[in-house]
A and B are shown apart, each in its own frame.
Chain A
Amino acid sequence: MNFQFIKKMYYGDIPDEPGNGAAYQTKPDTAAWPLWEVFIRSKRGLDHKHAGSLKAADATMAIENARDVYTRRQEGVSIWVVESKYIHASNPDEAESFFDPAEDKVYRHPSFYELPDEVKHM
């Protein structure tokens, strides 16, 4: 004879066995929708900055999704999207040889010049 003991669950507990909720699947298969990276330009004159990523079926939908997800609070005046797979990244394992050599080359900063007073907005 099988005994089924009642297991008391607390808020936040995750049941081991599938409960009633298992039959209620809200998550559709979005595997077919590719990932997009979103770039937002916040104000005229400033450059586009990476805002985040989202899923969309095509570029039009990606821009609209970006509009709805990332510019709800007037964060932007222009949106770029690009499929994440087209972004090529530097290899984190090579970070040392990539970036560290610049460390001791302070002379590359334009901080050794005296600016004439007439030059403004630098």
Chain B
Amino acid sequence: MQHINFILSLADSNLILSQRNAEWCGHGPVLEQDIAITNITLDLLGQARNFYQYAARLINETGNMPGHIATEDSLAYRRTEREFKNILLCELPKGDWAQTVLRQYFYSAFCKGLYFQLLQSQDQSLAAIAEKSLKEVNYHVRWSGEWVIRLGDGTAESKQRIKQALQFLWPYTGEMFMPADFENNNGIDLASIKKQWLLDVQTILEEATLQMPAEHIFMQSGGKSGTHTEHMGYILAEMQYLQRMYPDANW
């Protein structure tokens, strides 16, 4: 069950961030970037689906819920807020463009380290999903990293905005590296991912002429164990509306 919860947490973070980023669709600052963020959003959704499908298969194999068949849809649309295990960072409002690209950079740089370790996982299916996702994630890191540099080293206003985003988002970055109970002894070394992540972030922030925030401040947490921010309920209300209103509605 721990293993399933771990996979669900990966799926949830990707799904919720994809739902969030989707708010940019048709509202991007320029046409080209509207398409760029939407592409990334679709990548995240695709990764979430892979994780959900695999989690559903494992859940059904356990046979713990007779008469109930888990599917990617049931996992995405029929679970309650407390059952979602996404990190808080992913559910925060999209904010302005600075907040969106900085959050994307923080998250993607983390996923890069995580998926890289998952390549070595005993679980072949998980390793395969990680391998496929890693190609996409590498691009997300590059794209969002360049935007952080561009805004930080840009105009007075862009710098001000990315600084605000950094101040707002930073306390939510610690949760990525705090192992939840389902992340104990699963072969993932969060400490080493964190070390590399901090180095990567520092490099980007330096190039963006931004000050690296203090590492050891109070960090928000709770998402992995289902205690979410006040924003989460609204996301689910919108995302799950159709399946809640018309259960089993189909094309």
Contacts of A69 in B (CB 8 A): 31-32, 35
Digitize A18-62: 1 where CB-to-B-CB distance is under 8 Å, 0 elsewhere. 000000001010100100000000000000000000111100110
Contact indicator B36/A65 (Cβ below 8 Å): yes
Contact indicator A28/B29 (Cβ below 8 Å): yes
Contacts of B142 in A (CB 8 A): 64
Contact indicator A33/B30 (Cβ below 8 Å): yes
Contact indicator B143/A55 (Cβ below 8 Å): no
Contact indicator B150/A54 (Cβ below 8 Å): no
Does any Cβ of B come within 8 Å of A16's Cβ?
no
Residue of B nearest to A72 (CB): B39
Using C-beta atoms within 8 Å of the partner chain, give the interface range for chain B: 10 to 19
Using C-beta atoms within 8 Å of the partner chain, give the interface range for chain A: 10 to 19
Q: Which of B30, B32, B39 contacts A28 (CB 8 A)?
A: B30
Contact indicator B30/A61 (Cβ below 8 Å): no
Digitize A74-109: 1 where CB-to-B-CB distance is under 8 Å, 0 elsewhere. 000000000000000000000000000000000000
Digitize B23-64: 1 where CB-to-A-CB distance is under 8 Å, 0 elsewhere. 000010111110110010000000000000000000000000
Does any Cβ of A come within 8 Å of B146's Cβ?
yes
Contact indicator B39/A64 (Cβ below 8 Å): no
Known: A60-B146, A64-B146. A55 touches B35 (CB 8 A): no
Contact indicator B29/A54 (Cβ below 8 Å): no
A117 to B103, CA, bound (A): 64
Residue from A28, A57, A65 whose CB has the most chain B CB atoms within 10 Å: A65
Contacts of B32 in A (CB 8 A): 54-56, 65, 68-69
Contacts of B30 in A (CB 8 A): 28, 30, 33, 55
Contact indicator A68/B146 (Cβ below 8 Å): no
Contact indicator B27/A61 (Cβ below 8 Å): no
Known: A68-B35, A68-B36, A68-B39. A57 touches B27 (CB 8 A): no
A28 to B155, CA, bound (A): 15
A65 to B30, CA, bound (A): 11
Min C-beta distance of A30 to chain B, whole Å: 6
Contact indicator B35/A61 (Cβ below 8 Å): no
Known: A68-B39, A69-B35. A57 touches B29 (CB 8 A): no
Contacts of B39 in A (CB 8 A): 68, 72
A14 to B32, CA, bound (A): 26
Residue of B nearest to A60 (CB): B146
Q: Which of B159-197 contact A (CB under 8 A)?
A: none
Contacts of A54 in B (CB 8 A): 31-32
Contacts of B31 in A (CB 8 A): 54-55, 69
Q: Which of A26, A33, A65 contacts B27 (CB 8 A)?
A: A26
What 5 additional pairs, Cβ within 8 angstroms, besides A56-B32, A68-B39?
A: A26-B27, A57-B150, A60-B146, A64-B143, A69-B31
A-B contact pairs, 10 of them (CB 8 A): A26-B27, A28-B29, A33-B30, A55-B30, A64-B36, A64-B142, A64-B143, A65-B32, A68-B35, A68-B39
